[in-house]
Structure 1
Amino acid sequence: MAEAVIEVKSPEQFKELLSQDLNRVSVINFWAAFAEPCKQMNVVFGELARKYGAGLFLSVDAEEQSDIAESFDIEAVPSFIILRGHTLLGRINGADAPALSSTVAKNVATPSHTPLSRTDQAPAAPPSSFPAPQEEETPEQLEKRLRGLMSQSKVVLFMKGSPEQPRCGFSRKIVGLLKDEKVEFTTFDILTDESVRQGLKKLNDWPTYPQLIINGELVGGLDIVQEMIGNGELASTINGA
C-alpha cells in the first residue's frame, strides 16, 4: 500500500479516523489476501490516494477486521465505500477501476456535499440476488421455513456463496475445514434470500455468517468450528456422542 493509504488495525482506530473531520471524504478499500482481484485494485487505490490527497484513504482487511466489514454489509471483496463523515456517498462492488476512479474524482476533487445520484454510483447487486417470496411471509411462516432449512440434513452450512464459489473468506475457510474433516454437509447461500439472511440472525441470535447447524441447532461460526475441530468436539457432536 502507498504511504497515502492508512491501514486500519482496529475498529477503534477506524472510528477515530472517520470522526476527525466530518466534512472530509473517506474512501475505504475492503480487501482480502485470498482474492486475486484485490491485488490489482490495491494498486489502483494507492494511485488514487496519492492523486487525491484531500481525501482519507483507508485500507481494511475484511477478514482481519470482520466487525468493520459486517457493519458495511461487505459480501465480497474487493468492495469500496465512499463516505463524507458518516454519510454514504457511493459504493463500488468488485474490481471496477473506472467506476472507483470516477466516484473518487467526483467526490474528493469537488467541495460538493451532495451524495451521488443512483445513476452516478456503481451498479448495485442485481435485484435477483435477493428474490422476495411471492407472498409476504408472516414471522411464524418464516420461522417454520428457517427451521425446515436448518433440518434439511444432519449438517447444514449457511454461507455466502457456494462451496465451489465462496463469496467471503470466512465461508471459504469453513468449507475447507469441513472437507478436510470429511464431513458431509449441505449448504444454503444466504445471499440468495434476504429473508433467510436476516431471519436466521434473529432466530439463532448470531449476527454473522457463516453459521454451522448440526441436528437442527446452531453450533457457531468459523472460530467455534475451528475450536471444536481442535478438541475433537465436532466429530462427537456430529456422531451424537
Structure 2
Amino acid sequence: MSAKNLHTITSPEDYQSKLSEDLERVSVTNFWAAWAEPCKEMGKVVAALAAKHENVLFLEVDAETLPDISESFEVESVPTFVVLKGHTLLGRVNGADAAELTKLVDLHSKKTTKPTSTSDKAPAPPLASVPTAEKEVTAAEPVEEKKEETTEELNARIKKIMDSDKVVLFMKGTPEAPRCGFSRQTVAILNEHNVKYTHFDILQDEAVRQGLKAYNDWPTFPQLIIGGELIGGLDILRESVENGEFKEALTNVGAV
C-alpha cells in the first residue's frame, strides 16, 4: 500500500494542481521510465522516503509519457529528482544516487515555514517558468562569454555532421549508454539490422541540438540521417522497416 503523500502524475494539469495545493510544502518529483532498471530501485527509495516524511509531497512522472513536464525541467536522463518548495527549486539529483536524494529530502523536510493562508498564495506559473538547477547563476559566479555561431556557421557544421557517414544518428547519449528510451529503441533496430553508423550525442552540444530542429524541421530526437537526408525519428524508422523503405534507403547509399 503506497503512502498517501505519494502520487502518480497523469497530466501537466494534474502536476500543476498538485504543486499548487500548498505553495509552502516541499515536494519531490521523480522522473522515471519503465525501461530503465535504475528507476525500479530508486522507486523503492522514493516509497520509503514518502513513508518516512509524511509532510513532503512525492510526485512520480513518467518522463517519456509526459514530455511537457520533463522538458520544463530539462530532464535528459532517468532517474532524475527535482526538489521544490511550491514552485521554487531547492535541489536536484541526476541519476540513481539514493544517498544524495535521502540527504536532500531529510534536509528540507525538517525546515519549518510560516503558514500561508489560501488568499496569500500566488497562482501557479506555467511549467516552462519553473527554474532548473542548470539555469541558476549566482552573482559570485563569473559568466564566461563565448563567441556565438552565426546561423550560417551552425548550419554548415550540422550539414558536415550529417554528411560525415552514410548513416548518422543524432541521439541522446551513446549507443552503449542511451539516455532516453526512444534513442535506446532506435539503436536496437539499427543493431538488429547490422547497420554501421556514426552517432552524435546532442546532449553534448546544445547549439546542434536546437539548430538541428530548425535545420531538418523536426522537433524531436533521435533523428536518423541516411545519405545526408533526414529519414525521421523512431516511429518513421519503424514504418520504413515494415514497408521496406529502410532497406531500400540503405541500399541506395551503399550501407548494406
Q: TM-score, normalised by structure 1?
A: 0.81
Matches within 5 A, 1:70-219: 70-112=71-113, 136-219=148-231
Q: Which amino acid aligns with 1:35?
A: A
Q: Which stretch has the larger CA shift, 71-80 or 192-201?
A: 192-201
Out of 49-58 and 228-237, give the one that drifted further: 228-237
Aligned to 2:2: 2
1:103: how far off?
1.5
Contact 1:77 1:93 in 2 (8 A): yes
Q: Distance in 1 between matches of 2:217 and 2:90?
A: 31
Identify unmatched segments of 5+ residues in structure 1. 114-122, 125-131
Contact 1:18 1:85 in 2 (8 A): yes
Check whether the contact 1:155–1:184 (CA below 8 A) recurs between aligned residues: yes
Aligned mates of 1:164, 1:37 — CA distance in 2: 16
Helix, strand or coil at the partner of 2:225: strand
Greater mean alpha carbon deviation, residues 21-30 or residues 171-180: 21-30
**In structure 2, distance between residues paired with 1:233 and 1:142:** 30
Kindly provide the amino acid, as one letter, of the partner of residue 44 in structure 2: V
**What TM-score, normalized by structure 2, do the two folds share?**
0.77
Q: Which residue of 2 aligns with 1:22?
A: 23
Unaligned runs of 5+ in 2: 115-132, 135-143
- One-letter identity of the residue aligned with 1:110: K
1-structure distance, mates of 2:244, 2:18:
42
* Cα root mean square deviation, aligned: 2.7
The one-letter code sitting in structure 1 at the alignment partner of 2:154 is L
Conserved 8 A contact 1:52-1:109: no
Q: Single out whichever of 79-88 and 62-71 deviates more from structure 2.
A: 62-71
Distance 1:107 1:95 in 2: 19
Per-residue CA deviation, residues 44-64 of structure 1 (Å, 9 max, x unaligned), is: 111111122222211122233
SS at the partner of 1:179? helix
* Percent sequence identity over aligned pairs: 53
Q: Residues 159 and 211 of structure 1 are in contact (CA less than 8 Å); yes or no, is this contact kept in structure 2? A: yes
Q: Which has the larger radius of gyration?
A: 2
Question: Quick one: structure 1 residues 188 and 7, their matched pair in 2 at CA, closer, same or farther if it must change by over 3 Å?
Answer: same
Question: Contact 1:70–1:208 (CA<8 Å) still a contact in 2?
Answer: no
The question of whether the paired residues in 1 share the 8 Å contact of 2:31 and 2:80 is answered with: yes
| Distance across 2 between alignment mates of 1:50 and 1:230 | 47
1:52-63 to 2 correspondence within 5 Å?
52-63=53-64
Tell me what 1:127 maps to. none
CA distance in 1, matches of 2:156, 2:35: 37
Tell me, in whole angstroms, the C-alpha distance in 2 between the residues paired with 1:79 and 1:48: 15
| Structure 2 equivalent of residue 64 of structure 1 | 65
CA distance in 1, matches of 2:246, 2:88: 43
Residue 110 of structure 1, CA deviation: 1.5
Structure 2 Cα separation of the partners of residues 92 and 68 of structure 1: 16
Q: Is the 8 A contact 2:24 2:113 kept in 1?
A: no
* TM-fit CA distance, 1:29: 0.7
Residues 139/133 of structure 1: CA separation in 2 closer, same or farther (3 Å cut): farther
Q: For residues 32 and 226 of structure 2, what CA distance do their matches in structure 1 show?
A: 31
